[in-house]
């Protein structure tokens, strides 16, 4: 943090005080979205020591089995099949659930959800979202069903559950498979039941940036023993025995070192949640009453992990989302436009469906408004107060700031990765 930010005297009451127009940045080091939650290092190192002593590094080792049992217990689901990452877990779940042809999915998600289908020559059919939940709008799903449709993949974006009851009813009535991408939803619940037990299967991500992480990792969780067995075989090349292969398979195995991190991370999940809650409340307090900014909310009845803090920026208040992002980046706050511009505007989908945007008005609108802000156990609460002050003060003089950014040639500043991705300092 710079000296004025650290002393709590952040003053951005004139346009020239903002770093984008020549002022001193609030943060000397970039403040990232997605800084990993690191659990107890001693516990991690002890597990890694044990792994090295056993000389059992992957292929169904004891740490992976313990991790699977722990996840299954926490989510109250009978089967957990750990994988090397969430994307491969999605691919395997899609194959194990026998989805083919066309599958209905939200365009407003990380591109992995769509890619996991397309990778297997299944066409993702993008269906518009509900602007209140950011998730698939069940009222639009039926319009997208064709004779080639075999399933629906819902995404619990930001850990907020999909319209699970409605999607289940549609899938059952129309004879479709139903999977959920629960990459954001570990530890979240829906109507008193843990996310993980809905649809034919749900898919988790334990990527470094997730609430609970195993460096890289993922899992399929399901109530269906047949699907779980299939997924177990598929993640290990289809091997049912030393010399017998029963399905086409891949290498989706989670290594022991990842499970060591996953188990350690699970042990600290209550502390991670506490940090996320503290941060979320600081954002809520700091952004209250700021015209043009809406912080996404969660249902009080549900369990949450609060791993994403997302605001919607209404351009009518004077600054567009991109203007605000440029202002924040100049200050060292690396807010992210998750999930701009929407999968349908990424390749290969934009070439396949160049006019998809016409039937996705809500996804298009939302992709222009959202901004994810730093949180997690690595985010210093004082830093969050500074971030909210920056936003508040920028919006207070929004139209003037925007005009002067234009005059200074800063309104088009590049929003591609500003720091080397491999060396996020
Ligand atoms: N479905 C959904 C809905 C998902 O969101 C995701 C993944 C998946 C499926 C697929 O699951 P995985 O196959 O990944 O298990 C990041 C993550 O890589 C990705 O896991 C996540 N969603 C997505 C939302 O975010 P990028 O391309 O934005 O990552 P990157 O490299 O820009 O990192 C984000 C920020 O995190 C950086 O600004 C710095 C910080 N960071 C990152 C890493 C890896 C660190 O500080 N330390 C680190 O080690 O995708």
Instruction: Find the CATH number of the domain harbouring 110.
Output: 3.40.640.10
Residue where a domain stops, chosen among 267, 294, 324: 267
C-alpha to C-alpha distance for 134 and 162, rounded to whole angstroms: 9
Tell me, using a 6 A CB cutoff, whether residue 209 lines ligand 1.
yes
306 inside domain: yes
113 inside domain: yes
| pTM listed for this prediction | 0.96
Same domain (yes/no): 8, 156? no
Q: What beta strand segments (E) does 84-232 contain?
A: 102-105, 123-126, 149-155, 177-181, 189-190, 193-194, 201-205, 218-222
Q: What angle do CA 406, 410, 412 make, to 5 degrees?
A: 90
Same domain (yes/no): 166, 58? yes
Which residue's alpha carbon is at the smallest distance from atom 17 of ligand 1?
209
Could you tell me the residue range of the domain that residue 275 belongs to? 3-37+269-335+374-407
Same domain (yes/no): 78, 227? yes
342 inside domain: no
Same domain (yes/no): 200, 276? no
Q: How far is the CA of 390 from the centre of ligand 1 (A)?
A: 25
Same domain (yes/no): 16, 83? no
Tell me, using a 6 A CB cutoff, whether residue 33 lines ligand 1.
yes
pLDDT for residue 415? 82
| Closest by CA position to 129, among listed 148, 118, 115, 113 | 113
Tell me, using a 6 A CB cutoff, whether residue 34 lines ligand 1.
yes
**83, 91, 110, best to mutate for ligand 1 pocket (most atoms within 8 Å of CB):** 110
Same domain (yes/no): 176, 278? no
Buried b (16+ CB within 10 A) or exposed e, 180-200: bbbbbbbbbbbeebbbbbbbb
Instruction: Give, in order, the Cα–Cα distances in Å from 260 to each of 60, 227, 413.
Output: 13, 26, 42
**Checking DSSP bridges between strand 193-194 and strand 189-190, what pairing results, if any?**
antiparallel
Tell me, using a 6 A CB cutoff, whether residue 107 lines ligand 1.
no
Same domain (yes/no): 113, 210? yes
423 inside domain: no
Alpha helices for 125-239 (secondary structure H): 138-141, 164-174, 225-234
pLDDT for residue 7? 54
Same domain (yes/no): 105, 144? yes
Same domain (yes/no): 26, 77? no
Same domain (yes/no): 236, 293? no
Which residue's alpha carbon is at the smallest distance from atom 38 of ligand 1?
32
C-alpha to C-alpha distance for 304 and 338, rounded to whole angstroms: 19
pLDDT for residue 413? 80
**32, 33, 34, best to mutate for ligand 1 pocket (most atoms within 8 Å of CB):** 34
278 inside domain: yes
pLDDT for residue 11? 81
109 inside domain: yes
Give the ligand 1 atom nearest the CA of 116.
9
416 inside domain: no
CATH value at residue 25 = 3.90.1150.10
Element (H, E) at 93: helix 86-96
Which residue's alpha carbon is at the smallest distance from atom 23 of ligand 1?
110
Q: How far is the CA of 115 from the centre of ligand 1 (A)?
A: 15
Same domain (yes/no): 14, 108? no
Q: How far is the CA of 340 from the centre of ligand 1 (A)?
A: 14
Beta bridge partners of 151: 103, 177
Instruction: Give the model confidence (pLDDT) of 67-100 as tens digits.
Output: 999 999 999 999 999 999 999 999 999 999 999 9
pLDDT for residue 424? 45
Residues with pLDDT less than 70, the chain: 1-9, 418-425
Q: How far is the CA of 309 from the centre of ligand 1 (A)?
A: 15
Same domain (yes/no): 318, 382? yes
Total residue count of the chain as it appears in this document? 425
């Amino acid at each position: 943090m710079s000296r004025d930010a650290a002393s709590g005297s952040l003053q951005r009451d004139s346009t020239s005080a903002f770093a984008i127009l020549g002022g001193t940045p609030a943060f000397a080091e970039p403040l990232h979205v997605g800084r990993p939650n690191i659990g107890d290092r001693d516990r991690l190192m002890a597990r890694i020591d044990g792994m090295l002593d056993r000389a059992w590094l992957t292929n169904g080792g004891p740490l992976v089995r313990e991790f699977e049992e722990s996840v299954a217990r926490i989510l109250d689901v009978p089967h957990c099949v750990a994988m090397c990452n969430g994307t491969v877990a999605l691919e395997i779940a899609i194959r194990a659930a026998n989805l083919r042809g066309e599958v209905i999915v939200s365009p407003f998600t990380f591109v992995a959800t769509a890619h996991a289908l397309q990778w297997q020559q299944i066409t993702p059919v993008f269906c518009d979202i509900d602007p209140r939940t950011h998730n698939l709008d069940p009222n639009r799903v039926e319009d997208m069903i064709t004779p080639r449709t075999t399933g629906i993949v819902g995404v619990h974006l930001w850990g907020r559950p999909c319209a699970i009851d409605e999607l289940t009813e549609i899938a059952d009535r129309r004879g479709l498979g139903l999977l959920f991408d629960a990459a954001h939803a570990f530890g979240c619940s829906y109507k008193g039941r843990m996310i993980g037990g809905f649809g034919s299967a749900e898919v988790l991500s334990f990527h470094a940036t997730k609430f609970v992480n195993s460096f890289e990792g993922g899992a399929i969780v399901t109530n269906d023993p047949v699907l779980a067995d299939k997924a177990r075989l598929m993640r290990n090349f289809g091997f049912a025995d030393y010399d017998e292969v029963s399905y086409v398979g891949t290498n989706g195995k989670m290594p022991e070192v990842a499970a060591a991190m996953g188990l350690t991370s699970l042990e600290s999940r209550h502390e991670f949640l506490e940090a996320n809650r503290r941060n979320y409340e600081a954002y809520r307090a700091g952004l209250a009453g700021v015209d043009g900014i809406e912080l996404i909310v969660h249902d009080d009845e549900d369990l949450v992990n609060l791993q994403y803090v997302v605001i919607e920026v209404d351009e009518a208040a004077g600054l567009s989302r991109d203007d605000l992002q440029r202002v924040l980046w100049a200050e060292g706050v690396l807010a992210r436009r998750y999930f701009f511009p929407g999968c349908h505007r990424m390749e290969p989908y934009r070439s396949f469906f160049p006019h998809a945007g016409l039937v996705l008005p809500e996804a298009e609108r939302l992709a222009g408004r959202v901004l994810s802000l730093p949180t997690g156990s690595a985010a210093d609460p004082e830093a969050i107060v500074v971030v909210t002050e920056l936003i508040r003060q920028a919006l207070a003089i929004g139209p003037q700031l925007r005009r002067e950014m234009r005059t200074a040639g800063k309104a088009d500043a590049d929003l591609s990765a500003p720091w080397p991705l491999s060396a996020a300092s």
